[in-house]
Structure 1
């Protein structure tokens, strides 16, 4: 019995494999590359990409209050399928790098807009380009790590999203309250424009870092075969072990599937058909609805949190009233001033107290993301995901009803932690989609998520003044109820076996 155990260990132990094998399966070869400097550099690069995505997405929420008079702002999809198709066909890295650079150009151009329609069009174009990275990066990050480290890597990479909630309000605190401005040609250079110029820096750094990184070896294996993937694994091994590429102990990767990914529009249609048929159809439905709920609450609410906090801090009421009453009182006061003055009245008062509170929110998110990275494999991905959504949904409802500004602010911060569940959902979804479908599946999931953010932000924009408590209650209840779907999530091993029978690799 002891001899049999020793033989099994000798086959599965990576060091033993390194000494005895010149041929290995792809998964064994990946294990041999180890975990070290290469993986940490990938994690940092992907983190910067996610930081850029978050800054481009939520930074505008700080501009809304500061620029509403100049641009006459009131309370105001997607190319994700295309980016997913391109990411699966040409590679994750090949798509993200040019898209990020183009998004920086459009983002910078939007800072020079002089009316709401120009900034709207330019922000839409920026959003389309940013979407190339927002989901493809999860496929790239996951494929660069072995299965045992994949979920933690995605969670820790997502922690960079929380850094945007520290950096953005910090920059806003330094720049936006300034009283200065000067005329430059046809436009007025105001603090909020200067604030927008900083958003593209993470994208520039990440693009430079991507140039020194290889394409995902799993994608190369699926599209070009094992011979093309082997040099990438050897390079990963050399980075991690501090050795030469030639010292990689694997000389040949044995194919584990009978079919590799094919390119072309017809293949894209075939891939879509696989996603709407068993066993993937259930995964698509559950993950998409769940991500819709996560974004509707986290991103939809966050768009208005700086303005809500500004209302709380500027409230002159001496009584303990709810945030919904504060918002309604501001709305009525603005109506009365406009009516009495006989013209459209607009004054922007940005309380500097908003910024340290927002930075505290970012610190809270960072703690939650890091905790997820440590506990996700111990508690379980589905259990952790559902627990966060239930807790955050309840906090959202409570924030609208508690008659105390300080407690309401705390509950608002806790409700926004719902966004951290998105990284867990990404880790859950990555495991079930084959390499040929992974980028498209993730991009479509995040496209639906962004649709949820649009629904949430517009719902709050239309109802905050008159039906605030109803809107908060709906967001909280919908988020909590979405966890029921996770009870029907299939076993990943079953899905993988069924898809491998169709000739698709993981």
Structure 2
């Protein structure tokens, strides 16, 4: 037999005891190494400034020139959203003959924009909460410009309905995102008041519309160009595209929402946004911003504490290939549908299920009443003016009750369809009597709304959104039902002004409440969904209203009043607090 192998590759085998000793030494050295690594990380953390959360950072940025410029730029943005949903109500009397509109056609034209908004609510909510606020605003207003101009050159009612539907589909995103964008660029001290300022913007927009209508719609224009026949109401629609054009240009000069950036783990970009806000508000260099480090809201996206800190402080390293190694890892590609559904899931389970359903139903009731009344007022006031002009010198002119006006409006629309040569050989022509006075009452309603928003803006921090919401809806509901007993044009304008002012304040307050009740990852989605239900109410209300008008005088106003009173009861149970921190 051969000798046992004593050597392996020229080395003597080590005894088992010596191997165990070496293993223990290696483990001990490894333990010391891990302890030293932990100690180094703790030393890094101690040597850095304390990380600030979003509320601390936005408060440190202050309120000043940046915020004023942002609010000024938001005026055309708010005007664009109001114009998209409201221009139809102003052109209906003027376009009645050109498009041969029935009462139901008028209701559909008022409502179809909301149908487009409903169909795109979830899509825009997902895009805004995953891709950002700023880009959606810019591209949304560009697309809205195209839709508005398309509606302006429409030659029949079907074409107009198609472009109004597409306009509603597009504007749904910018409308919801504008609310979140403004909220996330203001601190708690100014947040509720800013929502009231947004309401003032909407009031300015509603004030501009009747003024624009008074200048353009009474004109008897008949322009023929490139085979198209254009009238004054089409020129009116084309001019209403200007706010969307301005918004898409001006918003390029503002940063992305820092709250959104922090929620995505993009703290370096969020820091740059805070520094820009601070520099403009305090007239100092960006480096003077007192916050040097932001809380990492997405810890799973960082490779290490030191890498994340260096990324925020702008000290990113380069790897061997010269590429930047940041503190966050690129998001993995995923299905948009799956991501959208995953984002919706928290809204349909506890703790947000009951709260989200309450907000949906509340906004449904508020906007059903508010937008139905608001969109039918131009037609109603035009009918009042025409009725009074036709009845001059007659005894009935003093009795301009709402019921008599509604009866006149229904008959007037039916007669407008009976044009051409009739069976009795009589030629009937469709004519409309539109004057500047037809829209003067709309100006009064808009002025009252603007004044009411100013009062509410000064009271919101004192009494809170909840009280303003519940009491405003209660009074609006009483006005809606009380419209039935209006016995003169003056009383009709007074009641309508109070209803629209309080209803508009309430609709803005619902959005403000929703923003503070849900976390940032769900904020735009919840606003989009609640607006979807609110627009569903607007759509149904504008279709039911002309239908109920054919049944009698009381049904349409009873419908509006009862929905507003129901919303008042629901608002009283919302868990709202003054100056609550954003989640």
Structure 2 distance, partners of 1:335, 1:269, is: 47
- 1:212 and 2:253 are equivalent in the alignment: yes
Structure 2 distance, partners of 1:180, 1:438, is: 46
Match of 1:403 among 487, 490, 510: 487
Aligned to 2:88: 60
Structure 2 distance, partners of 1:404, 1:121, is: 38
* Aligned 1:222-261 pairs, distance under 5 A: 222-255=263-296
Aligned to 1:24: 52
- 1:282 and 2:360 are equivalent in the alignment: no
- 1:438 and 2:523 are equivalent in the alignment: yes
Question: 1:351 Cα deviation (Å)?
Answer: 3.8
Aligned to 2:466: 382
* Aligned 1:66-465 pairs, distance under 5 A: 66-75=94-103, 76=105, 77-255=118-296, 264=334, 265=336, 266-315=338-387, 316=391, 317-332=396-411, 338=418, 346-417=430-501, 418-465=503-550
Local SS of the residue matching 1:135: helix
Local SS of the residue matching 2:229: strand
Structure 1 distance, partners of 2:180, 2:527, is: 7
Distance 1:262 1:251, change over 3 A: farther
Could you report, residue by residue, the CA deviation over 1:33-87 in whole angstroms, capped at 9, with x for unpaired residues?
1111111122222232111100111011111111111112222232011011000
Q: Is the 8 A contact 1:93 1:210 kept in 2?
A: yes
For the pair shown, which has the larger CA radius of gyration, 1 or 2?
2
Structure 1 segments (4+ residues) deviating >6 Å = 259-263, 339-344
Structure 2 distance, partners of 1:336, 1:73, is: 11
Q: Is the 8 A contact 2:102 2:414 kept in 1?
A: no
Structure 1: state its 5+ residue gaps.
Answer: 1-19, 497-504
Q: Is the 8 A contact 2:466 2:576 kept in 1?
A: no
Q: TM-score, normalising length from structure 1?
A: 0.89
Question: 1:342 Cα deviation (Å)?
Answer: 6.5
Question: 1:22 Cα deviation (Å)?
Answer: 5.9
Highest relative contact order (Cα 8 Å, sep 6+), 1 or 2?
Answer: 1
Distance 1:282 1:488, change over 3 A: farther
Aligned to 1:51: 79
Could you report, residue by residue, the CA deviation over 1:146-197 in whole angstroms, capped at 9, with x for unpaired residues?
1221111111022111112211111111111012323224322211111111
Structure 2 distance, partners of 1:207, 1:87, is: 16
Structure 2 distance, partners of 1:347, 1:374, is: 47
Question: 1:102 Cα deviation (Å)?
Answer: 0.9
Structure 2 distance, partners of 1:388, 1:59, is: 26
Q: Is the 8 A contact 1:292 1:451 kept in 2?
A: yes
Question: 1:267 Cα deviation (Å)?
Answer: 3.6
- 1:473 and 2:473 are equivalent in the alignment: no
Q: TM-score, normalising length from structure 2?
A: 0.77
Question: 1:263 Cα deviation (Å)?
Answer: 7.9
Question: 1:326 Cα deviation (Å)?
Answer: 2.0
Q: Is the 8 A contact 1:334 1:345 kept in 2?
A: no
Number of paired residues? Answer: 478
Q: Is the 8 A contact 2:77 2:244 kept in 1?
A: yes
Shifted more, 311-320 versus 111-120: the winner is 311-320
Distance 1:314 1:26, change over 3 A: closer
Local SS of the residue matching 1:458: helix
Local SS of the residue matching 1:431: helix
